[in-house]
Structure 1
């Protein structure tokens, strides 16, 4: 009896522990989802504000907003491209490491540009603009170079795989149409003399007919294509069947 009670108590503790673990995981996932939503919303608001400042503020203040918007857009697009590509291409992990270093320079420049937006000395700001413009150009150019290299790498892999697949399909299609390469199988071609008639002629014809008979006997018979087992998968390019009517 004591053993049964101990087992029941142990099972109860395990169920409670699993429930607590599942609750913690669910709360953590919900918190991460909320954090991502808030971050995305904050980015959208900041980008919209910067875009409005580029048109509303004349002079150095408007150009500062334009530099910040250009910097943030380039770095964000490069980060998304590299992170998505690194899931399937391990070579991009080294590129991600380089991007993290570049991103540090980008954050430093973005902070500096944000502080300068409230600087009342417009004359000093105008004198610093060429240097700020040059730093922004260097960072965005490096980020764009990484992003486009990743795009070209992914496209090259896709093209190579498609070329290999097309070649394999051509070979398979030729094997399926094996009858088109047999002599006398073309349209409008009259059937030639059979092996018996050929054997009645010269020895060369007889030998050729014997080889043809042997080749035909060795040709493997392709089995019938069996339908796939399990539930059928509907692909996006397939049309949905029309519902049957009772009339």
Structure 2
């Protein structure tokens, strides 16, 4: 009887432990989901605000908003292009490094966006614009190379597939490869 009670107690403790572990994992997953959703919402709001500032703010502040939008668009587009091909790990690593530079520049631009001294902002803008264009061009270059690679692989695969289909079609029509019977001169 004591052994049965001990087994029931161990089973009860095991189920309670499993329940606690499952609950903790569920809560952590929910927190990650909420954090991810709130980050995406925050990013969407920032992008909308940047688009509005680009059109409503004139001068250097409007140019800063445009630089931030261009930077974000190039980085996001390149990440989306690279995520579809798992064999591009080296390119993805380079893109992660480039993204670090883009984030740094984006933070600088965000601080300068609210700079009250327009003359200082105008003086800093050429250097910031050059950095943004270098990052944007690098991201574009990676994205275009990934797109060209995907296009080339698709084209090569389609060519090979077409060749295989031609061979199979010829094999299925094996009777056509025999010479056609000649008509006798009297039948003409």
Which band: TM-score by shorter chain? Answer: 0.7 to 0.9
Alignment-derived partner of residue 26 in structure 1: 26
Alignment-derived partner of residue 101 in structure 1: 97
Runs of at least 5 residues in structure 2 that lack an aligned partner in the other structure: 184-188
What is the CA-CA distance between 1:21 and the residue it aligns to? Answer: 3.4
Whole-angstrom CA distance in 2 between matches of 1:4 and 1:16: 18
TM-score, L = length of structure 2: 0.86
Q: Which has the higher contact order (CA 8 A, sep 6+)?
A: 2
Alignment-derived partner of residue 155 in structure 1: 151
1:159-216 per-residue CA deviation (whole Å, 9 max, x = no partner) reads: 222221221122111111111112347xxx67xxxxxxxxxxxxxxxxxxxxxxxxxx
Alignment-derived partner of residue 178 in structure 2: 182
Give runs of aligned pairs for residues 9-24 of structure 1, distance below 5 A: 9-24=9-24
Whole-angstrom CA distance in 1 between matches of 2:72 and 2:6: 60
Runs of at least 5 residues in structure 1 that lack an aligned partner in the other structure: 191-247
Report the structure number with the largest CA radius of gyration: 1
Whole-angstrom CA distance in 2 between matches of 1:9 and 1:182: 84
Whole-angstrom CA distance in 2 between matches of 1:106 and 1:13: 51
Alignment-derived partner of residue 84 in structure 1: 84
Match of 1:124 among 120, 125, 147: 120
Give runs of aligned pairs for residues 1-247 of structure 1, distance below 5 A: 2-86=2-86, 89=87, 92-184=88-180
What is the CA-CA distance between 1:105 and the residue it aligns to? Answer: 1.3
Whole-angstrom CA distance in 2 between matches of 1:20 and 1:164: 55
TM-score, L = length of structure 1: 0.67
Whole-angstrom CA distance in 2 between matches of 1:21 and 1:60: 54
What is the CA-CA distance between 1:41 and the residue it aligns to? Answer: 0.9
